[in-house]
Chains A and B, each alone.
Chain A
């Protein structure tokens, strides 16, 4: 069982308190009603499913109930870092080269 750092609770909590909520940084278009079929497909259906570092949404569902973002290695399962919803993709990751 993984330990996940909730950026709102500022604590590491066991994985069973959390739920994955899919890929992060896919913003719902503000003009969604008028986007093309191709753009809708890209927004709703197409996901990266990267081998390696993935940016994901998680929810501390049995805790503070907040959604937040996480960078995780899909090979090792290791959480590299977590950050609050709405914050940009981190430019520099802990442990990455200087």
Chain B
């Protein structure tokens, strides 16, 4: 059954090395070195997909990265299903399985193609116009339906099992593009000894030499010269050669992102190999040698499978040894398609006719074609083609009208000319300039240390391209510090000509016509759509682009932008530069999320911080919660306990006997120096100068605007040394805040700041038995109430290791916080735990810590405050030094709004029904019967069941709260309204007797 379009003796692949593959479950045979596209064409398969909007049958347009049509899914296994792979880029391997996309039930019979018949309803801007009303239907009806009907491939459903690598690299000269120009530039730069990186998106270097049969450089066929030159470069120590590597983004200061496709072309990649590798290259100089992309002709039904770019047909023949048809028509507006016709003719393919829009095409290549007996129709246009799933004929007419003639063909090659690839230049923020003579946008004003060379710079002819690129390589290397080298510039002995062409709609698809002459194949935008956009008032190309979606597909309009622009300009009666060129943005071609994410996923997405006692907590059944990057023990359930039972038991045990809690995550900063107290005075609201050595104070830190920024207990270890604690979440930002003031506002103060959060493990021992638990392990510290009262700090030893022992309490019970060097944290915990066991103490987690502190009305910054709460609002006015003349926030506190009546203030709430626990974040109102939207007085900030109080407790920010003591307020919930009473903040041991209990 299989028909082969392989041409014996043509191409560079070894025909004996076969590779089996499937397309839509049909088996085919290809050759090692094929792309999926060339292998399909070798089997006579042109129909490979359905278009995005109209579901029109589509074939293979190109032989490279610019491909808009031939997008397929590649399915390696259940998890490795890559959608929207360009068949022209995917290299064949034995066993490759590809599926077509966007069709149902099958590629040749697709129900969605009804969109094509209904196309008047789908014309430009239809998304904006059709579904305006009713608004609600957009979300529920229109959008899901449109997404279903229009679209590309399907995302894989399983997590990506592959891994992706990332490298940083530095070089003097980075050459982007490995065609003739890029190779010449790299050779020139490499000879000077500087570090050079040469990257190309293709599997093999050579660029256009892949299809050009007529070039000879240094006595070799152009392709052979390219391979030999790249082999020479690869052997040089100062050169890195990267194939299958696409420069997708050009960022500031010559920082270029490249993706190397490491294993997508392999049959069975070694599991250690990454799928892709992201290169982030910083180059002193960049040579852009990205070449040019051929444009298609814009005529009716130019999207039929079998209609393709002339250069692509040449690549398939000259590189892959595949004829794209047996009876081929050519439609062109420039010379380069003639070379394709000649090559095919020489390979035994019949050229039905060359249709040339130019009136009297002349020149040696035209003469050569004519001499071979090829029919040439000058001054004529192809006005339409026949066939649906495959082109069957082309209809030719004089370009100004007249009699039609239909010529049977099985493929049509087209060329409207070449568009320089200025994408990366434009991404570098360079400004392109329109060259009216050649109707091309070319690099104009440079913004970075880069240079364009060759076809992407508008340079025509191989010889001129090589000269320019070689000179660019020499200069780039010299500018980057390379030494002068003896010149061995490649010499071009034969080459092919690049020539002009045309932009916009061809005859038969111009103004007044309604044929489907595609400008943008991937987004199904026709010449008519662009004219319609202009008629509907779009003036700038940016508007036309968004209205029609021209150039907005994943191919970024590589073949369509210039045509679209020309049609819009023509319709507006303006010159092209007046209409403007749309902006080129990264990525140049689609980039996988995997390559951007690299190793930063799963466990490596974010660092996990564990305290010294983490292992002990794990072994003892702790349930953990994430607090920032920390894993913190949340509660310690005994068998059969849920979180409530566990927390209730822990809460009661701490107040009855004692509990051990790991407080190591608290931020800790040592403030040291002769001016340490002065600095503390400026950074905290409290007075510090008079705090005795060995005593502690609860400190409140404000921002300059007067709002609470952080809090924590501070111990004075010496006249010139403070041990400051911060909230867990605030550790880094408080350090930054302190450094900022010390370095920039108070640099006259002689103070050093050191983060010691990681250096000290902190074990809180809280409860009436806490002293008894600690005492036997201590050396050199008298912890009697007389010698060490509440809010004091001592240095000594515990279990034989140094400790900073704080007597302080975040539970309201007699309490200590044992600081020991982190390496001893677990051992000291174990020793304290052994002592604790003798007294019936428990281990407790963050949940119990939260409940205990709420029972005492101690706030948590960030939970009970939100960046708009002042010390007075939080009932912490006592912590503001009234006699102080300066501290950060002193002026902010006096702002009119901050001293106004009716501010939200922190209060306690008791539900009328003691068994009801409020929801944190719930809104509070005075009158639950008022119409919606109700006036909210505030919200619940903390809420728990308190086993110690035998009821629920809550803290809340309530407008004018401190004047509402005893008032009844309401918390409206979806199913009921909860009655609450406003109370003070302290729910347990109001007199504070337990601190010494």
Seen from chain A, the residues whose Cβ lies within 8 Å of a Cβ on chain B are: 1-3, 21, 27-28, 32-33, 35, 37, 40, 44, 57, 59, 61, 65-67, 76-78, 85-86
Contacts and interface: CB of A to CB of B under 8 A. Distances in A.
B282 interface: yes
A2 B253 contact: yes
A44 B891 CA distance: 10
B272 interface: no
A18 to B, nearest CB: 13
Contact of A28 (B252, B736, B743, B745): B745
Given A1-B280, A28-B704, A32-B886, A86 B747 contact: yes
Interface of B: 251-253, 255, 280, 282, 429, 447, 704-705, 736, 739-740, 743-745, 747, 885-886, 890-892, 895-896
B744 A44 contact: no
A35 B890 CA distance: 11
A13 to B, nearest CB: 11
Contacts of A37: 895-896
A77 B252 contact: yes
11 contacts: A1-B252, A1-B255, A3-B253, A21-B740, A27-B745, A33-B891, A37-B896, A40-B891, A57-B744, A76-B429, A85-B743
Nearest to A29: B891
A94 B24 CA distance: 62
Given A1-B252, A32-B891, 7 more contacts: A2-B255, A33-B891, A40-B892, A40-B895, A44-B705, A66-B743, A67-B739
B892 A44 contact: yes
B251 A1 contact: yes
Sorted nearest first, the 6 A-B pairs with minimum C-beta distance are A32-B891, A67-B743, A28-B745, A33-B890, A2-B252, A3-B253
Contacts of A59: 736, 739-740
Contact of A35 (B255, B747, B891): B891
Contacts of A78: 252
Contacts of A35: 891
Contacts of B896: 37
A40 B280 CA distance: 45
B280 A67 contact: no
Contacts of A28: 704, 745
Given A44-B704, A76-B429, A86-B747, A67 B282 contact: no
Nearest to A21: B740
A57 B251 CA distance: 23
B756 to A, nearest CB: 15
B734 to A, nearest CB: 14
Contacts of A61: 736
Contacts of A85: 743-744, 747
Nearest to A41: B895
Contact of B885 (A3, A21, A33, A67): A33
Contacts of B282: 3
Given A44-B892, A78-B252, A86 B744 contact: yes
Contacts of A21: 740
A65 B736 CA distance: 9
Chain B CB within 10 Å, residue with most, of A1, A65, A78: A1
Nearest to B253: A3
Contacts of B429: 76
B891 A67 contact: no
Contacts of A3: 253, 255, 282
Nearest to B429: A76
A32 B895 CA distance: 12
Given A28-B704, A44-B704, A65 B891 contact: no
Interface centre among B705, B744, B896 (most CB of A within 10 A): B744
A31 to B, nearest CB: 9
Interface centre among A3, A33, A86 (most CB of B within 10 A): A33
Contacts of A65: 739
A32 B253 CA distance: 41
Contacts of B747: 85-86
A48 to B, nearest CB: 18
A22 to B, nearest CB: 10
A81 to B, nearest CB: 15
A44 B251 CA distance: 34
Nearest to B254: A3
Contacts of B255: 1-3
Nearest to B747: A86
Nearest to A67: B743
Contact of B740 (A67, A77, A86): A67
A63 to B, nearest CB: 13
Contacts of A2: 252-253, 255
A59 B705 CA distance: 22
A33 B882 CA distance: 12
Most buried by B among A35, A65, A67, A78: A67
Contacts of B891: 32-33, 35, 40
A94 B253 CA distance: 17
Nearest to B885: A33
Most chain B C-beta atoms within 10 Å of own C-beta, residue among A28, A66, A86: A28
B827 to A, nearest CB: 33
Contacts of A86: 744, 747
A17 to B, nearest CB: 13
Contacts of B892: 40, 44
B656 to A, nearest CB: 46
A32 B893 CA distance: 12
Nearest to B888: A28
Nearest to B743: A67
Contacts of A32: 886, 890-891
A1 to B, nearest CB: 5
Contacts of A44: 704-705, 892
A28 B888 CA distance: 10
A23 to B, nearest CB: 12
A19 B895 CA distance: 30
Contacts of B280: 1
